[in-house]
Amino acid sequence: MERGTSVGQEWLVDCSGCRPAVLREVGALQRLFDALVTELGLTVVGEARWHAFPGEGGVTGLCLLSESHLAIHTFPEHGFAALSVYSCRERAAPDFRRLLQQHLEPAHVEVRELKREARA
């Protein structure tokens, strides 16, 4: 099968068994984004946007990058966070398990990597 032209990669990261309180804390999620930006050498465009749902709800966050985006959606009621990291340039994967253990304390981390390709 013929390969297309690389237009980057995306990591989809599922974190299960997280402490619910940390999944409601915008500051903890911002620190995770900051660590990812630093570790991957990404360029932030503007400020990250955060929406904390009321009560016991979770948080949705989005950071626009010149390389693409970081996004997270948390579900404290399930101890779960879904993270998306997309870069238009291929680069080595960060140690997601280490970073997430430091910031979200998950019991389980699943990382899937998608190679993005444009086809003629």
Res 53 pLDDT > 70: yes
Residue 8, pLDDT > 80, answer yes
Locate 92 and state its tokens.
């080595």
Of residues 7 and 108, the one with the higher pLDDT is 108
* 73 carries an active-site annotation: yes
Q: Tokens for 67?
A: 């390389």
Q: What is the DSSP letter of 9?
A: E
Averaged pLDDT score across all residues of the chain: 93
| Rounded average pLDDT over 89-114 | 94
User: One of 63, 68, 87, 103 is an active-site residue; which one?
Assistant: 68
Active site residue 66: no
Provide the number of structural domains found in the chain. 1
Model confidence at 3, pLDDT cuts 50, 70, 90, reads confident
Under a CB-based contact definition with an 8 Å cutoff, are residues 5 and 115 in contact?
A: no
Is there a catalytic annotation at residue 6?
Answer: no
Distances (CA, A) of 56 to 77, 79, 81, 82, 112: 8, 12, 14, 17, 28
Range of the domain at 98: 5-118
Report the pLDDT value the prediction gives residue 90, as an integer from 0 to 100: 84
3-class SS at 5? strand
Question: 26-40 vs 96-103: helix axis angle to the nearest 10?
Answer: 150
Mean pLDDT for 43-64 is: 96
Is the pTM for the entire model greater than 0.85?
Answer: yes
At 2, list the tokens: 């013929």
CB atoms inside a 10 Å sphere around CB 24 = 18
- pLDDT digit string, tens, across residues 19-39: 999 999 999 999 999 999 999
Q: Residue 39: which CATH number? A: 3.60.90.10
- Name every residue whose Cβ is closer than 8 Å to that of residue 16 and which is 6 or more positions away in sequence: 78, 79, 80, 106, 107, 108, 109, 110
Query: Catalytic one among 16, 69, 73, 84?
Result: 73
**Quick check: 115 pLDDT over 70?**
yes
